[in-house]
Structure 1
Amino acid sequence: MDDVEAVVLVGGKGTRLRPLTLSAPKPMLPTAGVPFLAHLLSRIRAAGIRRVVLGTSYLAETFADHFGDGESLGLDLTYVVEDTPLGTGGGIRNVAKHLTAEHVMIFNGDVLCGTDLRAVVNTHRTTDADVTLHLVRVQDPRAYGCVPTDDDGRVTAFLEKTEDPPTDQINAGCYVFRRSVIDLIPEGRPVSVERDTFPGLLEAGSRVSGHVDNAYWRDMGTPGDLVHGSSDLVRGVAPSAALPGPTGELLVLEGAEISPDAFVFGGTTVGRGVRIGAGARVEGSMLFDGAVVEPGAIVETSVVGAGATVGESAKVRDTVIGDRAVIGAHCELKGGMRVWPDISLPPHGVRFSPDV
């Protein structure tokens, strides 16, 4: 697709994922063994797109430090820093001068999706659209804004969240723009494509098409979604060419040590240098590099940060443990807890929901 370039918006601060994002932007968090962004870039490359512009802001230098010019990925990467928050539309407009292709595929950098990207571009071409949106059908659309389409595949409205949605189609955070349409977005100020750009195009009579499918889709903006998305990547439920190992019940990176009688499953990622002790049970979780799960501990659907320790016979469920934190022996953590970096919890503590 020589006439298509990609833009990935990766400027957000990831506040819903704190404390994990205190030291890394959301798209750079280790997800199934590599930064989350690596999975998206691998799918862009597989679709035949070679040139990618990253719209960065928060901890912008971390992207270039890791991916460089993109040559090792078979891509040509350009980085554009957003000095002040400009929203989705403003972020797209901010990178416009670096775009040269006739069509531009835009991605939100925190969405894990399995749609056929070539098919989205084909819909854009065959309908001669000004903008094409990837729309995904979800089981419960009440938590999202809805995007109805007519029999011709034309988007007819952008609706806010409602208890009685008229369609199960939602905006999946992937678009194809005619390059000329990007120049119509106001420059140098915050603009939302969802609230400003797309409704404005409809009002002006522009052709806004919808590419609708039932592909795998997950917004990775919360700890729960991050954990489940990583698990789906490890198990092969979500597609990626960037996995550093085969799909299965667990992904084990170099230098990790797992006791023969530990039970690790459910799409768990075991990071570099991780140690899991005798009789421990780890299900559907993310253990960052250097984490320790001591004998008899139970870790379920949780993130254990780099260098953090879960003590002997502790129970951790639906919890985010920050880097280098220590969870004392026999502690019980559950209910969406977040333990901040370098915190030490004493043995036998029982906590359910507040951040510590």
Structure 2
Amino acid sequence: MLDDVEAVVLVGGKGTRLRPLTLSAPKPMLPTAGVPFLAHLLSRIRAAGVRRVVLGTSYLAETFEEHFGDGGKLGLDLTYVVETEPLGTGGGIANVAEYLTTDDVLIFNGDVLCGTDLGAVVETHRRTAADVTLHLVRVQDPRAYGCVPTDPDGRVTAFLEKTEDPPTDQINAGCYVFKRSVIDSIPRGRVVSVERETFPELLESGARVSGHVDNAYWRDMGTPGDLVHGSADLVRGVAPSAALPGPTGESIVMEGATVAPDAFVFGGSTIGRGVTIGAGAKIESSMIFDGAVIAPGAIVEESVVGAGARIEEAAHIRDTVIGDRAVVGAHCELKGGARVWPDVVLPPHGVRFSADV
């Protein structure tokens, strides 16, 4: 149990890659498998035995405290610290330093879905007497990420930028353990990147930077595709969480939703509160936010349908984001990363991708 460790979750980003979803809510507050994404991370922190969490907020900061309050319902003690201007990962950590009281502090990027054993990460940190320990995860294709090689003793040897020929499959998973003394050494009041400034300076000074390497479930939830797949993994039980509002399976249907008996809802889909799914509609691996309407015969695949939006009869969307209250007219077809902004109305037959109609 990690009752002698506090946690910091950095949730200040604007989530621009997820627009238009993040025009009305910060990325960590987007409904994911039926609850705000942050609830899943907080449940993992609580399950590891941590009791006190400091949230570093900035964009739409008030929404976090409005939803989670003091954390009592989660079994946590939550403190909120607002960045008046973006400070980067390191600057965000330094900005909350005065609210921390323990010698070892877990730090999380607030947009990562991860199944690692947090107790094991802290154990590695303490066993190796590290100044900082990074959770490193192995990925099949590390070319899309910066790489973090380690020596046979588990010591981090470098922080490498993206390359077509990476020397290791280990990448930074966005979870760290910091000694309090390292947090206190980060410059205050300016933008600081831990990846480009703090960590390289620690290596140069001879500090011990350890890597805890595993093959745990991991996904950066920064793009619509990752958000959809991460939510589906939570619903199906592939990704661990103690915050699901229902049992794992092919779908989670929230209270007040109406699903026609002959509609197909599967693939880890989430149907929000007050949603209506019409006869013969097909919802596969998708997120349907509260109050949306999916008309009879419509098909929604690997997509996000915003709150109060409407997908009209026989429309077909795939790999698409529909903003809040937008309307996709009957027989429209959208796919391939299309995004419709809030309140936009596409007329019937207004958009088609297929060449044969």
TM-score by structure 1 length? 0.98
Superposition deviation, residue 291 in structure 1: 0.6
**Structure 2: which amino acid aligns with 1:111?**
V
Structure 1 distance, partners of 2:235, 2:69, is 25
Aligned structure 1 segments of 4 or more residues deviating by more than 3 angstroms: none
**Structure 2: which amino acid aligns with 1:197?**
T
Give matches, 1:95-110, under 5 Å.
95-110=96-111
**Structure 2: which amino acid aligns with 1:69?**
D
**Structure 1: which amino acid aligns with 2:298?**
A
Deviations along 1:234-284, whole A, 9 cap, x unmatched? 000000000000000000000111111111100000000111111111100
Corresponding residue of 2:202 = 201
Structure 1 position 52 matched with structure 2 position 53: yes
Superposition deviation, residue 351 in structure 1: 4.5
Indicate the SS of the match to 2:102. coil
Give matches, 1:306-345, under 5 Å.
306-345=307-346
Indicate the SS of the match to 1:254. coil
Give matches, 1:63-142, under 5 Å.
63-142=64-143
Deviations along 1:155-208, whole A, 9 cap, x unmatched? 000000000000000000000000111011011100000000000000000000
Structure 2 distance, partners of 1:349, 1:332, is 9
**Structure 1: which amino acid aligns with 2:264?**
F
Structure 1 position 152 matched with structure 2 position 153: yes
Structure 1 distance, partners of 2:69, 2:329, is 40
**Structure 2: which amino acid aligns with 1:70?**
G
**Structure 1: which amino acid aligns with 2:279?**
A
Superposition deviation, residue 2 in structure 1: 2.6
**Structure 1: which amino acid aligns with 2:109?**
N
Corresponding residue of 1:4 = 5
**Structure 2 runs not aligned, ≥5 long:** none
Corresponding residue of 1:260 = 261
**Structure 1 runs not aligned, ≥5 long:** none
Superposition deviation, residue 138 in structure 1: 0.1
Structure 1 distance, partners of 2:260, 2:219, is 33
Partners of 1:334 and 1:351 within 8 A in 2: no
Give matches, 1:216-227, under 5 Å.
216-227=217-228
Superposition deviation, residue 146 in structure 1: 0.2
Indicate the SS of the match to 1:166. coil
Q: In percent, how many aligned pairs have the same letter?
A: 84
Superposition deviation, residue 349 in structure 1: 2.1
Superposition deviation, residue 335 in structure 1: 1.1
Structure 2 distance, partners of 1:270, 1:84, is 36
Indicate the SS of the match to 1:350. coil
Give matches, 1:218-257, under 5 Å.
218-257=219-258
RMSD of aligned C-alpha atoms?
0.6
Structure 1 distance, partners of 2:281, 2:76, is 41
Superposition deviation, residue 3 in structure 1: 2.0
Structure 1 distance, partners of 2:280, 2:63, is 37
Structure 2 distance, partners of 1:233, 1:187, is 37
Superposition deviation, residue 350 in structure 1: 2.4
Indicate the SS of the match to 2:265. strand
Structure 1 position 215 matched with structure 2 position 216: yes
Corresponding residue of 2:171 = 170
CA 1:151–1:291 in structure 2 vs 1: closer, same or farther (change >3 Å)?
A: same
Structure 1 distance, partners of 2:128, 2:236, is 36
